[in-house]
Amino acid sequence: MKKIIQTLVLVLILGLTSNIVHAQCPDSSDATLKETTDWLKSKIESHGRRNVPPTVYKVKFDSTQMTLYEFGIDENFLLTDTVWIVKINLKDLDINKFVVRNINKEGTRFGITIYSKSGKLISRSPTLAADVINGFELIMFSKDEPDLSKRMIKAFIHGYCASGGGSSTTTKEKF
């Protein structure tokens, strides 16, 4: 009888602990970090671009470190120069501060602003000789995927969770 009670107490403790982890990182995807970063890279590179000035994005992931290059393009769609270089670690994403801005009424052009918790998101513009250390807005275009903004935010949150971002902070809720 004593072993049954100990087992029940242990199961209860593990269950409560697992709920705390899920509350910090409310993520239900079973995709690996690599699958998540590959998907984000694919979507950003295929759907990300600005019209004025015309630019395209190229993304590189080194484990949890994302480096985004924004290149200017000319009228022949050839790369001309680097407009922005953005670096952020997925572990440092501020998952409570994503901002989605619809650029057109159809919702096919939108911007997603990403922020870091520590302020270590660095955007550098070699052409403008400027640095921004706050947020960065990805401009996306997608008429064939109407829920792309929601799916991208979900993927960023999953990348944050899969990289260990959720387990690095402990938040206690008051009830």
In a domain, 71, yes or no: yes
Q: 63 pLDDT exceeds 70?
A: yes
Domain limits at 82?
28-162
In a domain, 55, yes or no: yes
Spatial distance between the Cα atoms of 48 and 56, rounded to a whole number of angstroms: 6
What percent of the chain shows pLDDT beyond 90?
39
Instruction: Kindly report the CATH number assigned to the domain that includes residue 49.
Output: 2.30.29
Long-range contacts of 56-65 (CB under 8 A, 24+ apart): 57/138, 61/37, 63/33, 63/163, 64/33, 64/89, 64/90, 64/91, 64/159, 64/163, 64/164, 65/89, 65/90
In a domain, 66, yes or no: yes
pTM recorded for the entire structure: 0.75
Q: 111 pLDDT exceeds 80?
A: yes
In a domain, 145, yes or no: yes
What's the pLDDT tens digit per position in 121-155? 777 777 666 666 678 889 999 888 878 999 999 99
In a domain, 40, yes or no: yes
Q: 18 pLDDT exceeds 50?
A: no
Q: Is 71 exposed, middle or buried (0-12, 13-18, 19+ CB in 10 A)?
A: middle
Greatest mean pLDDT among 10-19, 71-80, 122-131, 138-147 lies in 138-147
pLDDT at 24: 54
Helices (H), the chain: 2-24, 33-47, 148-162
pLDDT at 133: 67
In a domain, 14, yes or no: no
In a domain, 15, yes or no: no
Q: 3 pLDDT exceeds 60?
A: no
pLDDT at 171: 42
> Number of folded domains in the chain?
1
In a domain, 173, yes or no: no
